[in-house]
Amino acid sequence: MILDEELFKRKANLSSIDKMFRTLSQRVWPSRTVVVRQKHTLPDLPYDYNALEPVISAEIMQLHHQKHHQTYVNSLNQAEEKFMEAKEKNDLKTMIALTPQLRFNGGGHINHSILWQNYFPKGGEPEGDLLKAIDANFGSFDTMKNGLSSSAVSLQGSGWTWLGYNKSTNSLAIATCANQDPLEPTTGLVPLLGIDVWEHAYYLQYKSVRADYVKNIFKIINWKDVADRLATARQ
């Protein structure tokens, strides 16, 4: 009986302490909303690393995905965390200084997340509404492919060549972006198909012959994914 009374007193005391802290927190932060930032993660590939051979070797795919893309994800999370800390302190100088890191690593994450979906082991050719749009804007699929290839091969340094959609004119366009600059924030075009011409995307297999890499990349394009992106952008 004595033990039961003592246990009851302890529970009552803990309940009072809990109420006190809850009341205190309500007074100090009466309407504060705590936002937990969800970190970016490396997306899984929709195929095995060796699925795109012989166009892209398993070694390149594994390094490209596990090393390079993962680095963009890690660096983006770190930059965002520092940016949010600076924002809490109203430290505008630090926020501005972090902008290039956010653009580079955020762009790298966005671009590669699209790229993995743009690939498909069996490849094929565009059809349906996508093919109609290509014909209407470029005259033919071959003309579009040649323009995209020429843009990718001639791009100086590292970067991306894109087939994008212009919402204002309801048209397709070819554009290039330096480094990891993301297409839509940079040009306003919605990304449909990207060609990564950073050397890490092809050098182990194609050495310095970028033209061969670009030529072969069309053998593994997932045109259904490109078509789905166009349909979504048109909505």
**Residue-level pLDDT at 7:** 38
**Residue-level pLDDT at 36:** 61
Q: Name the percent of the chain lying above pLDDT 70.
A: 84
For residue 228, which of 132, 110, 123, 118 has the smallest C-alpha distance? 118
- 129 annotated as belonging to a binding site for a ligand: no
**Residue-level pLDDT at 233:** 98
Q: How far is CA 133 from CA 45, 137, 187, 190, 211, in A?
A: 28, 6, 20, 14, 26
Per-residue pLDDT reduced to its tens digit, 18-29: 333 333 333 334
Q: What are the residue ranges in the chain where pLDDT is below 50?
A: 1-34
- 69 annotated as belonging to a binding site for a ligand: no
**Residue-level pLDDT at 35:** 54
Whether 217 and 117 have beta carbons less than 8 Å apart is answered as no
Domains with residue ranges and CATH for the chain: 58-118 (1.10.287.990), 128-234 (3.55.40.20)
Per-residue pLDDT reduced to its tens digit, 165-191: 999 999 999 999 999 999 999 999 999
Q: Which pair of structure tokens corresponds to residue 191?
A: 């990304």
